[in-house]
Amino acid sequence: MTIEAQTRAAPAKLEQKAGGDNSILLDVRNLKKYFPITQGILVQKKVADVKAVDGVTFHVKQGETLGLVGESGCGKSTTGRTILQLYRPTEGQVLFRGKDLAQLKGEELRQMRSDMQMIFQDPYASLNPRMTVGDIVAEPLEVHNIAKGKERKERVQELLRIVGLNPYFINRYPHEFSGGQRQRIGIARSIAVNPDFIVCDEPISALDVSIQAQIINLLEELQEHLGLTYLFIAHDLSVVRHISDRVAVMYLGKIVELTDSRALYANPLHPYTRALLSAVPIPDPIIEEKRERIILVGDVPSPVNPPKGCRFHTRCPLVIPICKEVAPEWRDVGNGHFVECHVV
Q: What does residue 256 show for φ and ψ, rounded to 5 degrees?
A: -105, -20
- Mind listing the pLDDT tens digit for each residue in 53-99? 999 999 999 999 999 999 888 999 999 999 999 999 999 999 999 99
- Alpha carbon of 130 to those of 136, 170, 344: distances in Å? 10, 13, 53
Predicted confidence at residue 43, as pLDDT, reads: 85
Predicted confidence at residue 202, as pLDDT, reads: 92
- Determine which helix (DSSP H) or strand (DSSP E) holds 109, and give its type and residue range: helix 106-112
- Mind listing the pLDDT tens digit for each residue in 297-312? 888 899 999 999 999 9
DSSP state of 323: G
What confidence tier does 4 reach under pLDDT thresholds 50, 70, 90?
A: very low
**Percentage of the chain modeled with pLDDT above 90:** 68
Instruction: Tell me the three state secondary structure of residue 325.
Output: coil
Name the CATH superfamily, with its identifier, for domain 3-36+47-244: P-loop containing nucleotide triphosphate hydrolases (3.40.50.300)
pTM: 0.88
Question: CA 160, 177, 206: angle at the middle one, nearest 5?
Answer: 100
Question: CA 307, 313, 317: angle at the middle one, nearest 5?
Answer: 160
- Mind listing the pLDDT tens digit for each residue in 206-263? 888 889 999 999 999 999 999 999 999 998 888 898 899 999 999 999 999 999 999 9
All structural domains of the chain with their residue ranges? 3-36+47-244, 270-344
Task: Specify the amino acid at residue 246.
Answer: R
Starting at the edge strand found earlier in the chain, the sheet holding 254-260 runs 116-119, 197-201, 229-234, 65-69, 246-251, 254-260, 338-339, 331-332
Predicted confidence at residue 1, as pLDDT, reads: 45
Question: Are the C-beta atoms of residues 280 and 240 closer than 8 Å to each other?
Answer: no
